[in-house]
Chains A and B, each alone.
Chain A
Amino acid sequence: MRAGLLPAVRLGHRAVRLRSEDLESMVAQNNHDALNSNLADLAKTGPIVRYYEADQTLVDAVGEFIGAALAADDLGIVIATEAHRADIEAHLQAAGLDTTSARTRGRFISLNALETLARIMVDGKPDQSHFGEIVGSLVSRATASGRQVRIFGEMVGLLLEQSNHAGVIRLEELWNELRVKHAFSLLCGYRMPTLSGDSLSALTKNICAAHDHVVPTEAYLVLTEPGEHLRAVAELEQKARSLALEVGARQQAEQRLEAVLPSEQRELSNFIETAPIGLLWIDRDGTIVWANQAELDLLGYARKDFLGRRIAEFNVTADAPDDFLARLERSEVLSGYPVRLRCNDGSIKRVLIDSTVVCEDGHPVRTQCFTRDVTELHRAVERTRRLQEITEQLSTSLESNLVLAMIARSAADLLEAPVGAVFLLEGGVAWADFVLAAAHGIEESRHHQLRLPRKASLAGRVIDECQTLIVDDARSTSGTALPALLTGETTGSEIAAPIIAGDMRLGVVKAFSPALRRFSPEDAALLTSLAAAAAIALTNARMYSDAQQGIEARDEFLSMAAHDLKTPLASVKATAQLLRRRLARGEAPDTDRLIGGLASIDDTTSAMAEQLDEMVDNARIQMGGQLQLRRHPIDLVTLARRVAAAHQETTQQHTIHVLTSQPELVANVDDVRMGRVLDNLLSNAIKYSPGGGRIDIRLSREGEAGDDAVLLAVKDHGLGIPAADLPRIFEHFQRAANVEGRIGGAGIGLASVRHIVYQHGGTIVVHSIEGVGSTFTVRLPLHFTVSNDDVD
Chain B
Amino acid sequence: MMSTKGSHRRSPPILVVDDDLRTREAIRLTLEEEGFEVETASDGGQALHQARRRRPSLVVLDMRLPVADGAAVAGGLRAMLGEPPPILLITADDRGESKARRIGAYAFLPKPFDLEDLLALIRLGLQ
Q: Mark the stretch among B5-13, B47-55, B76-84, B107-115 that contacts chain A.
A: B107-115
Bound CA–CA A574/B67 (angstroms):
25
B26 touches A577 (CB 8 A): yes
Q: In the complex, are the beta carbons of A742 and B115 less than 8 A apart?
A: no
Take A574-B112, A577-B115 as given contacts and tell me if A567 and B20 are in contact as well, using a CB distance cutoff of 8 Å. Answer: yes
Residues 79-127 (chain B) with a chain A CB within 8 angstroms: 90, 92-94, 110-116
For residue A687, which residue of chain B has the nearest CB? B66
Q: Find chain A residues with CB under 8 A from B69 CB.
A: 741-742
Check if A30 is an interface residue, CB within 8 A of chain B: no
By the criterion CB–CB under 8 Å, are A574 and B92 in contact? no
Q: Which interface residue of A568, A578, A743 has the most chain B CB atoms within 10 A?
A: A578
How distant is B30 from chain A, measured CB to nearest CB, in Å?
6
Given contacts A575-B22, A578-B29, A741-B68, is CB(A570)–CB(B94) below 8 Å?
A: no
Q: Enumerate chain A residues within 8 angstroms of B30, measured Cβ to Cβ.
A: 574, 577-578, 581
CB distance from A108 to the nearest CB of B (A): 154
Number of A-B contacts (CB under 8 A): 74
Q: Which A-chain residue is minimally distant from B23 (CB atoms)?
A: A571
Interface size on A, residues (CB 8 A): 26
Which residues of A sit under 8 angstroms from B29, Cβ to Cβ? 578
Which of B30, B68, B72 gathers most chain A CB within 10 Å?
B30
A209 is an interface residue with CB less than 8 A from chain B: no
What residue of chain B has the Cβ atom nearest to residue A745's Cβ?
B64
Which residues from A are CB-within-8-Å of B111?
566-567, 569-570
Interface positions of B from 9 to 55, Cβ below 8 Å from A: 20-23, 26-27, 29-30, 33
Q: Is the CB of B26 within 8 A of A574?
A: yes
| Contact of A567 with B23 in the complex, beta carbons under 8 Å | yes
Query: Are A562 and B92 neighbours in the complex by a CB distance under 8 Å?
Result: yes
Distance between Cα atoms of A568 and B20 in the complex (Å): 8
Question: Which of B66, B67, B72, B113 lies in contact with A570, CB distance below 8 A?
Answer: B113
Do residues A573 and B112 form an inter-chain contact, with CB atoms below 8 A?
yes
Quick one: which of B22, B67, B72, B94 contacts A571, CB cutoff 8 A? B22
- Indicate if the CB atoms of B112 and A604 lie closer than 8 Å: no
Closest CB-CB distance, A379 to chain B, in whole Å?
61
> What is the distance, in angstroms, from A300's C-beta to the closest C-beta of chain B?
77
In the bound complex, how far is the Cα of B114 from the Cα of A572, in angstroms? 11
Give Cα A572 to B111, complex, Å: 11
Please give the distance in Å from A590's CB to the nearest CB on chain B. 11
**A562 x B22 contact (CB < 8 A):** no
Residue contact B115 to A581, C-beta cutoff 8 Å = yes
A741→B45 CA distance, assembly (Å): 13
CB of B92 within 8 A of CB of A581, answer no
B110: which A residues are within 8 A, CB to CB? Answer: 566
Residues in chain A near residue B23, CB distance under 8 A:
567, 570-571, 574
A595-632 contacts to B (CB < 8 Å): 600, 604
Taken together as a complex, chains A and B put the C-alpha atoms of A694 and B91 apart, in Å, by 33
A487 to B92, CA, bound (A): 58
Bound-state CA distance A405–B66 (Å) is: 42
Known A566-B111, A566-B112: A574·B22 in contact at CB below 8 Å: yes
Q: Which residues of chain B are near A745, meaning CB under 8 Å?
A: 64
CB pair B26 A559 closer than 8 Å: no
Bound CA–CA A562/B110 (angstroms): 12
Task: Evaluate whether A574 and B27 lie within 8 angstroms (CB atoms) in the complex, with A569-B112, A581-B33, A604-B22 already known.
Answer: yes
Select one of A559, A575, A604 contacting B93, CB under 8 A.
Answer: A559
Query: A230 to B115, alpha carbons, bound, how many Å?
Result: 163
Give the residue name and chain of the A residue nearest to B92 (CB).
A566
Contact residues, A738-753 vs B (CB, 8 A): 741-743, 745
A742 to B72, CA, bound (A): 12
Q: Complex formed: what's the CA distance from A604 to B115 in Å?
A: 18
A571:B33 contact, CB within 8 angstroms: no
Closest to B30 in A: A578
Q: Report the minimum CB–CB distance from A604 to chain B (whole Å).
A: 6
Q: In the assembled complex, how far is the CB of residue A699 from the closest CB belonging to chain B, in whole angstroms?
A: 29
A563 within 8 A of partner (CB): yes
- Find the A residue at minimum CB distance from B110: A566
Q: Which residue of chain A has its CB nearest to the CB of B114?
A: A577
Residue pair A578, B20 in contact (C-beta under 8 Å):
no
The docked-state distance in angstroms from the alpha carbon of A741 to that of B68 is 7
CA distance A571 to B112 in the complex (A): 7
B26 touches A578 (CB 8 A): yes
Q: How far is the CB of B89 from chain A (nearest CB, A)?
A: 13
B69–chain A nearest beta-carbon distance, Å: 5
Residue of A nearest to B113 (CB): A570
Which residues of chain B are near A563, meaning CB under 8 Å? Answer: 64, 92-94
Please measure, in the bound complex, the distance between the C-alpha atom of A600 and the C-alpha atom of B20, giving whole angstroms: 12
Q: For the complex, what is the distance from the CA of A569 to the CA of B26, rounded to whole Å? A: 12
Q: Shortest CB–CB separation between residue B92 and chain A, in angstroms?
A: 3
Is the beta-carbon distance between A571 and B26 smaller than 8 angstroms? yes
| B residues near A567, Cβ cutoff 8 Å | 20, 23, 64, 92, 111
| Given the contacts A559-B94, A562-B92, A578-B29, A570 and B112 also touching, CB distance less than 8 Å | yes
Most buried by A among B111, B113, B116: B111
Residue of A at shortest CB range from B90?
A: A570
Contacts of B112 in A (CB 8 A): 566, 569-570, 572-574
Q: List 30 A-B contacts (CB under 8 A).
A: A559-B94, A562-B94, A564-B92, A566-B92, A566-B110, A567-B64, A569-B92, A569-B112, A570-B20, A570-B111, A571-B20, A571-B23, A572-B22, A572-B112, A574-B22, A574-B30, A574-B113, A574-B115, A575-B26, A577-B26, A577-B114, A577-B115, A577-B116, A578-B30, A581-B115, A582-B33, A600-B22, A690-B67, A741-B72, A742-B64
Residues on A close to B: CB < 8 A? 559, 562-575, 577-578, 581-582, 600, 604, 690, 741-743, 745
Please name the 3 residue pairs, one residue from A and one from B, whose CB atoms are nearest each other, closest first.
Answer: A574-B26, A566-B92, A571-B22
**Apart from A569-B111, A572-B22: 8 A-B pairs, beta carbons within 8 A:** A564-B92, A567-B64, A568-B22, A570-B92, A574-B113, A577-B115, A578-B26, A741-B72
